[in-house]
Amino acid sequence: MFELFILFFAIAVIAPLVIKFMTKPNYLKVAEKTELPPNLGIREDLYLQKSVRNMEKALPHEFKEKIKRRYLSEHPKATEAYFEVIYYELQRFFIMCSLLNNVPMFSKKVDDIWHEMLMYTKEYEKFSTELCGEHIHHAPNDVVEPDPHGRAWFDLLYAKLFTFTDFTHIAWGTFFQNPLHQGLLHELQTLSTEKLGIRYFRPNADKETIHALLTKIKVDLNRISNDKDPYKGLKLSPNSIDSTPILAGAMLYYSYHHFDEYDMYMAKLNPASNYNSGNTTACGSGCGNHRDDNGGHDSSCSSDSGSSCGSSCGSGCGSS
């Protein structure tokens, strides 16, 4: 009789937990299993350690806990594990903001935490000043427009700066769906790292990091300009961390050699992904370097145009 009581008690206690876990959205399950690399998963050869230290100093534990409490209270379905992986990606976004003139926000999930962070006006202002030297603007999210070229540039730089985690694709959506614009590729090949640094990066960004990053991209472009298709016949698993370096290289290669057929070639390489160039949106993009439809450079807000862009290195939420 006692054994039956124990059995029924176990069923009554364990069954609801099992059901709750089985019905939990997949993104929450992935969040719980995701291992977050130390130092924000930065590429060691890009001299980003100083940027990570600045981030840690600018975002003290007490401020993070305030953001966390507010976020979880405003998003009751979210878990602590989910907050941690999204907050991790927000920090990566801010690292990019500390380097680049303009970084559109392409993830509503990440942007949601940024919104909560903005509620702490004094702390956020102090954070912005310590990390970027000035305020990091969050533009209104009432204007949603396609930004495929901006997303392609974001994808390339993100892949060069950070290692991917199991949650990266959930946070930002599918990477490498859009080709890099041919005008940008031409600039990356022909302009010096100094001129590219002035055009696309913040004046107070770490010069060693910018030089190392642009040099790596230039080396890759010089290599692929003469390569025969090294990805022909390959089939990759979608959203696999191990596939990311190959997909990043393929993005450069097919943007350079097969811009108009980019979707077709990437779909052959990664059949399970839905490649549809131009489907990526961002909201309320802040001032930075934008490209017109012909690949020309819109210098109305570029660093060498004489205009003052300030610290508009972010935008509103985008679709992911």
pLDDT digits (tens, 9 = 90+) for 164-192: 999 999 999 999 999 999 999 999 999 99
Q: How far apart are CA 98 and CA 134, in angstroms?
A: 10
With bands split at pLDDT 50, 70 and 90, how would you rate the model's confidence at 119? very high
Whether pLDDT at 312 is above 60: no
**Rounded CA separation 313/106 (Å):** 13
Backbone φ and ψ of 129, nearest 5°: -65, -45
The model's pLDDT over 16-61, given as tens digits with 9 standing for 90+, comes to 544 444 567 998 999 999 999 999 999 989 999 999 999 999 999 9
Q: Alpha-carbon distance 282 to 263, whole Å?
A: 20
Comparing 283 with 100, the larger pLDDT belongs to 100
Dihedral (C-alpha) 157, 167, 250, 47: value to the nearest 10 degrees? 30
User: What value does the mean pLDDT take over residues 192-221?
Assistant: 96
Closest-CA residue to 316 (of 121, 114, 146): 114
Looking at residue 97, its pLDDT comes to 95
Q: How far apart are CA 81 and CA 33, in angstroms?
A: 9
Alpha helix stretches (DSSP H) within the chain:
2-22, 26-33, 49-58, 61-74, 80-99, 108-118, 121-132, 148-161, 168-172, 182-190, 193-200, 207-224, 244-257, 262-269
Beta-strand ranges (E) seen in 221-311 are: 281-283, 290-291, 297-298
Mean model confidence pLDDT for the chain: 82
pTM above threshold 0.85? no
Cα distances (angstroms) measured from residue 301 to each of 37, 274, 294:
36, 33, 18
Q: For the beta carbon of residue 169, count every other beta carbon within 10 angstroms.
A: 19
> Quick one: pLDDT band at residue 233, thresholds 50, 70, 90?
confident
Domain ranges of the chain: 18-301
In this prediction, residues 233-242 reach a mean pLDDT of 79
Q: How far apart are CA 275 and CA 178, in angstroms?
A: 8
What pLDDT does 146 receive? 82
Rounded (5°) CA angle 124-126-128: 70
Confidence of residue 315 (pLDDT cuts 50, 70, 90): very low
Assess contact for 108 and 115: CB atoms under 8 A: no
